[in-house]
Structure formats: structure tokens, C-alpha cells
Amino acid sequence: MDWLNAIVQGTLLGGLYALFAAGLSLIFGVMRLVNIAHGDLIVLGAYLGLTVTTATGLHPLMALAIVVPAMALIGYVLQRGLLNQTLGDDLLPPLLVTFGLSVIIQNALLEGYTADPQKLSAGGLETASFAVGGLTLGVLPAVTFAIAIAVIWGLQWVFYHTALGRAFRAVSDNQDIAQLMGLNKRHIFGLAMALALAVTAVAGILLGIRTSFDPSIGGGRLIFGFEAVIIGGLGNLWGTLAGGVILGVAQTIGAKIDPGWQILAGHIAFLIILAVRPNGLFPRISA
């Protein structure tokens, strides 16, 4: 039963990792951009949630109504004003720019909020639990997993059932032809980044409820997000959920064997899958 509990807890943890990874997967699928600042943008979402809850007294989940549009706006402005200028055949400029952006976000958060760890208070939600088949599951991890499924389903629906999704797929398939057909690829890329940072805001708020955070933890969230994306397959949203679950289960099983092996076990699982399936477990999303 202890091993089953570790697997179930790891599966629920995978929901949070999938949310870390969904934005990365989306922007890579649309514009082939690898965003080094993604982890710091997750932390920025958590801090915006902290600011909103402190100023208004709202529950952190209710604060999503303010933080999600704010992050989406930041994403659109960031893409149109900065990242679009770096996109091209050479992958190095966007990597360097997003790395610089990561440093700027970390230092700005340090100046604005200090290095003291912070946490979002969600009242009884943080400690509430329920029993299923002899296992005791936390309400917050279960809610996080359900939100991850809903978010990824929503992104899939946007991709395949809306005009915006058709535009995403068109620019992903061939930017020049899409431009000739009347699509403004810079605007489409801006919308893709806005959608990605809206998901990042959800991930940041849930991270802030689950654990304490400070300006320096973005790098770790970026690694978990990358590992989940690569395990599942670059650009594949449902594969991202599977990758997050595999990473979460590997970590909880590693922690079950020895608490010091939790993070290491996740990295080992990632390296094994990378060695066996370099393109991930599932094919990239079809354009």
C-alpha cells in the first residue's frame, strides 16, 4: 500500500509539473522558441498572486481572475516588443535574450520583494484531505491535477476547434505561407505567448499555495518543466501531462526509497527516457 500511495501522490504531483511545462510546450509548438525565463515567469505569477491577495484579501484561487489576464498581457507585450525581434533561423539569439530576461526578473523580484521566502495562504485547502481506497489524498494536489487536465484539454480545444488554433497551426507549419495568406505572424506569436503566460500564472499561483517561494527558485521550476516536456515529447500537450506524471512518480518513488533521492530519481528517469526515446514518448503536436 505504501508503494501504491507513492505512485498516486507522484501522479498528483505530476499535475503541477504539467502546468509548469504546458506553456513551454505551447510556445515551442507554435514558434519553436525555447524560453529560458519560463521558470522565473512562473515565480513572477506567484508574486503577482501574493500582491493581489495581500492588497485585496482575495483567496489565491480567486486572484487568478486578476493574475491570469495580467500575465497574458505581459506575455503579449513581451513577445511583440522583444522576443519577436529575436526569432529567425538562428536559435541562439532567443536563448540569450530569454536568459537575460531571466536574470532581470530575478533581480527585479529581489529588489521588490526581498529574498525572504513567501507563501500564499489558501486556508483549509492547504491541509484538507480525503480518503480513497485506503489512501489519504490531499485536496490541493487533487485540485491541481484536475486543473492541469482542464488547462491542457482547453489548450487542445483552442488548437483544433478555433480560428486562433488554426492560425497557431498555420504559422507553426510555415510562417511565410501563413503570412502570404493574410496572417500577421507577429500578432499570432504574441497571442501564443499571452496564452502560455496565462497558463504560467495558474502554475505560479498553485506553486505558491503548495510551497514557499523566493526569487531564486525559477531555475528549478524551469528544469522540471523542461524534463516534463522532453519526456512527453516536444510540442505535445497531452504528452506534457504524461511527462509530468512520470517525473512526479519517479520523484515520489525515489523519496520512498530514500528521502535524499527524490530529485535525483526524477533526473535519472528523465535521462533514461532521453537515452531510449530522444524525441520523447509521444510525437510532436501535428501542425
- Give the per-residue SS3 of 160-195: HHCHHHHHHHHHHHCHHHHHHCCCCHHHHHHHHHHH
pLDDT tens digit string along 101-153? 999 999 999 999 999 999 999 888 888 988 888 888 899 999 999 999 999 99
CB 132: neighbour CB atoms within 10 A?
Answer: 10
Measure the CA–CA gap between 54 and 243, rounded to whole angstroms. 34
Identify the band that residue 154 occupies on the pLDDT scale cut at 50, 70 and 90: very high
**CA 119 to mean position of chain CA atoms:** 19
Q: What is the pLDDT of residue 89?
A: 78
Q: Which DSSP category does 278 fall into? A: T
Span 165-194, mean pLDDT? Answer: 88
Measure the CA–CA gap between 187 and 193, rounded to whole angstroms. 10
CB 104: neighbour CB atoms within 10 A?
Answer: 12
Taking phi over 0 as left and psi of -120 to 50 as alpha, with beta for the rest, 253 belongs to alpha
**For the whole model, what pTM was predicted?**
0.92
Do the beta carbons of residue 215 and residue 109 sit within 8 Å? yes
Measure the CA–CA gap between 43 and 210, rounded to whole angstroms. 13
Q: Average pLDDT, whole number, for the chain?
A: 90
Report whether pLDDT(1) > 80: no
Rounded percentage of the chain residues whose pLDDT exceeds 70: 98
Rounded percentage of the chain residues whose pLDDT exceeds 90: 61
Report whether pLDDT(286) > 60: no
pLDDT tens digit string along 57-92? 999 999 999 999 999 999 999 999 999 998 887 888
CA dihedral 47, 53, 59, 63 (to 10 degrees): -60
Measure the CA–CA gap between 22 and 240, rounded to whole angstroms. 6
Measure the CA–CA gap between 267 and 17, rounded to whole angstroms. 13
Give the cell for residue 196.
Answer: 502560455
Span 192-201, mean pLDDT? Answer: 95
Measure the CA–CA gap between 197 and 79, rounded to whole angstroms. 11
Do the beta carbons of residue 21 and residue 228 sit within 8 Å? yes
* Sign, Cα dihedral of 254, 118, 102, 114: negative
Q: What is the pLDDT of residue 284?
A: 60
Span 197-215, mean pLDDT? Answer: 94
Structural domains for the chain:
1-120+138-276 (1.10.3470)
pLDDT tens digit string along 11-63? 999 999 999 999 888 888 888 888 999 999 999 999 999 999 999 999 999 99
Span 245-252, mean pLDDT? Answer: 93
Q: What is the pLDDT of residue 181?
A: 80
For cell 486543473, the residue is 147
Identify the band that residue 272 occupies on the pLDDT scale cut at 50, 70 and 90: very high
The amino acid at residue 211 is T
Q: What is the pLDDT of residue 287?
A: 44
Q: What is the pLDDT of residue 133?
A: 82
Top pLDDT among 282 and 116 is at: 116
Q: What is the pLDDT of residue 32?
A: 83
